[in-house]
């Protein structure tokens, strides 16, 4: 279980926000995409039809000395580069490991087995009687839940081509070498869209999706210089794809896939039609005689990898005028786990009470995530909020409660911007307006 991760309270909030941004952008604010929430456990025939039972494999090599297992292609990738490793055939992997004098990363000896294919799907048993359950799979991609629901969506929602069906959900892969924090895990979340198009009228759909996804990432704070587009070589394509383009991110350990865009053609609908005997064809609403299988352009996002890139981008260490270094998570304000923190200057009762009153009114009357913190010096509490990435801190001082005119006028407070560190003094009555203004900026 070495690379299994949980999100804590702040992480869970960031994750929900990433999913909300994705759902708002690609589903709610588009007239041509609808949402879905399909089951993880499906009839095993789904995975026979989709090709995952026969083709969803990784080349595995064993070290004969220490018995550790590795993905042969991944070890070679580090030495030869992604493109060169991707075109190698299964029976070339061992020979190449030997030719390149690559030792076992665990025991540093060199005694490799021939590579063999290893299916990445997790199997489990369905049924209550021990030993008599049927084997079923945990879905390795959310996509198939969309394909098997294609007809239901067409019948109930009556969409016209082109249209998409999107969903967010868990996927499971028995990865041989999970690692690099949440980059590669065995249980992860995907955010996928299957975009159905008329094969006679695909136009620029592929490029438009590539652009829309690039814009989503950069608009939410990923620096363009850390992103690049890489098209898959023919030998590297998944069994269902005729063209795949990845958007890669420069992680601290090098470039890696963040998002994949694939042209799946009619592979999946045709396979499900063949296996289930169910007619999956779409009828042209303008010509009832014209029935065909739509083609599919698939934008597929890894949710956890996306969060990881936002974390890496946001992490900043800044030297302050007094020489101190502050750590600040410069999240886009839509992604920060806490929106506003209310901080009384000191723990003293009248201040604390006033601050609590403001905190509770924000909780009750807004949709913001609000934090209230009284422990430690005000400087330490600002640092803590910087480390969380809280965009705004509200401070209630002795001026606020009319006890120190030098700190400020009665019924005013300060509002501090995480990035500029600027503090504005404003009347309490203007607080909601100021916060709303900030969120619109």
List contacts with ligand GAP (CB under 6 A).
Answer: 141, 143, 173, 175, 184-185, 188, 190, 192, 257-260, 298, 300, 302, 304-305
Nearer to ligand GAP, 301 or 382 (CB): 301
Q: Rounded to the nearest whole angstrom, what is the least distance from the CB of residue 305 to ligand GAP in the complex?
A: 4
Q: Please tell me the distance from the alpha carbon of residue 305 to that of residue 190, in angstroms, as a whole number.
A: 9
Nearer to ligand GAP, 56 or 112 (CB): 56
Nearer to ligand GAP, 174 or 407 (CB): 174
Q: Rounded to the nearest whole angstrom, what is the least distance from the CB of residue 288 to ligand GAP in the complex?
A: 32
Q: Rounded to the nearest whole angstrom, what is the least distance from the CB of residue 172 to ligand GAP in the complex?
A: 9
CB 332 within 8 A of CB 364: no
Q: Please tell me the distance from the alpha carbon of residue 415 to that of residue 339, in angstroms, as a whole number.
A: 12
Q: Rounded to the nearest whole angstrom, what is the least distance from the CB of residue 33 to ligand GAP in the complex?
A: 16
Nearer to ligand GAP, 190 or 390 (CB): 190
Q: Rounded to the nearest whole angstrom, what is the least distance from the CB of residue 400 to ligand GAP in the complex?
A: 47
Q: Please tell me the distance from the alpha carbon of residue 413 to that of residue 421, in angstroms, as a whole number.
A: 15
Q: Rounded to the nearest whole angstrom, what is the least distance from the CB of residue 298 to ligand GAP in the complex?
A: 6
Q: Rounded to the nearest whole angstrom, what is the least distance from the CB of residue 315 to ligand GAP in the complex?
A: 20
Q: Please tell me the distance from the alpha carbon of residue 328 to that of residue 325, in angstroms, as a whole number.
A: 10
Distances (CA, A) of 38 to 49, 145, 254, 280, 333: 17, 5, 34, 18, 31
CB 57 within 8 A of CB 117: yes
Nearer to ligand GAP, 270 or 428 (CB): 270
Q: Please tell me the distance from the alpha carbon of residue 196 to that of residue 187, in angstroms, as a whole number.
A: 28
Nearer to ligand GAP, 149 or 300 (CB): 300
CB 61 within 8 A of CB 93: yes
DSSP secondary structure string, 13-47? Answer: HHHHHHHHHHHIIIIIT-TTEEE----SB--HHHH
Q: Which residue is nearest to ligand GAP (CB)?
A: 302
Nearer to ligand GAP, 146 or 343 (CB): 146
Question: Which of 265, 258, 257, 207 is closest to 240 using CA atoms?
Answer: 265
Classify residue 69 by burial, with Cβ atoms within 10 Å: 0-12, 13-18, 19+: middle
**Residue 96 DSSP SS3:** helix
Q: Rounded to the nearest whole angstrom, what is the least distance from the CB of residue 56 to ligand GAP in the complex?
A: 9
Nearer to ligand GAP, 77 or 284 (CB): 77
Q: Rounded to the nearest whole angstrom, what is the least distance from the CB of residue 154 to ligand GAP in the complex?
A: 20
Q: Rounded to the nearest whole angstrom, what is the least distance from the CB of residue 239 to ligand GAP in the complex?
A: 11
CB 188 within 8 A of CB 202: no
Question: Which of 163, 172, 127, 384 is closest to 282 using CA atoms?
Answer: 163
Q: Please tell me the distance from the alpha carbon of residue 206 to that of residue 162, in angstroms, as a whole number.
A: 12
Nearer to ligand GAP, 149 or 190 (CB): 190
Nearer to ligand GAP, 257 or 339 (CB): 257
Tell me how many helices (H) and strands (E) the chain has.
Answer: 14, 21
Q: What's the CA angle centered on 424, arms 393 and 368, to 5 degrees?
A: 35
């Amino acid at each position: 279980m070495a690379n299994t991760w949980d999100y804590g309270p702040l992480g869970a909030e960031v994750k929900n926000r990433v999913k909300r941004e994705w759902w708002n952008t690609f589903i709610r604010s588009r007239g041509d995409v609808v949402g879905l929430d399909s089951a993880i456990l499906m009839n095993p025939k789904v995975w026979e039809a989709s090709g995952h039972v026969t083709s969803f494999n990784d080349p595995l090599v064993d070290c004969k000395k220490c018995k550790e297992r590795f993905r042969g292609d991944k070890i070679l990738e580090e030495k030869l580069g992604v493109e060169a490793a991707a075109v190698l055939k299964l029976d070339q992997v061992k020979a190449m490991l030997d030719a390149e004098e690559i030792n076992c990363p665990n025991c540093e000896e060199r005694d490799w087995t021939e590579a063999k294919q290893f299916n990445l799907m997790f199997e489990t048993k369905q049924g209550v009687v021990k030993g008599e359950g049927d084997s079923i799979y945990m879905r390795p991609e959310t996509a198939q839940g969309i394909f098997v629901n294609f007809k239901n969506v067409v019948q109930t929602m009556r969409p016209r081509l082109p249209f998409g069906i999107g969903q967010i959900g868990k996927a499971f892969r028995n990865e041989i070498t999970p690692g690099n924090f949440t980059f590669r895990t065995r249980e992860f979340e995907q955010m996928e869209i299957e975009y159905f198009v008329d094969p006679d009228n695909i136009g620029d759909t592929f490029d438009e999706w590539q652009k829309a996804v690039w814009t989503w990432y950069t608009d939410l704070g990923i620096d363009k210089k850390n992103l690049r587009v890489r098209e898959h070589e023919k030998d590297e394509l998944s069994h269902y794809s005729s063209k795949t383009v990845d958007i890669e991110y420069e992680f601290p350990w090098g470039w890696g896939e963040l998002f994949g865009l694939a042209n799946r053609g009619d592979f999946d609908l045709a396979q499900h039609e063949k296996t289930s005997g169910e007619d999956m064809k779409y009828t042209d609403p303008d010509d009832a005689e014209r029935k065909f299988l739509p083609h599919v352009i698939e934008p597929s996002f890894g949710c956890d990898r996306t969060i990881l890139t936002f974390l890496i981008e946001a992490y900043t260490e800044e030297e302050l005028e007094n020489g101190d270094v502050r750590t600040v998570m410069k999240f886009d304000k839509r992604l920060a786990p806490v929106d506003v923190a209310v901080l009384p200057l000191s723990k003293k009762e009248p201040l604390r009470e006033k601050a609590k009153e403001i905190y509770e009114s924000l909780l009750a009357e807004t949709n913001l995530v609000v934090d209230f913190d009284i422990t430690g010096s005000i400087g330490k509490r600002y640092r803590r909020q910087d480390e969380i990435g809280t965009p705004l801190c509200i401070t209630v001082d002795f001026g606020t409660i009319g006890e120190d005119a030098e700190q400020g006028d009665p019924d005013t407070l300060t509002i501090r911007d995480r990035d500029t560190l600027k503090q504005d003094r404003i009347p309490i009555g203007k607080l909601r307006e100021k916060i709303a203004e900030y969120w619109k900026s």
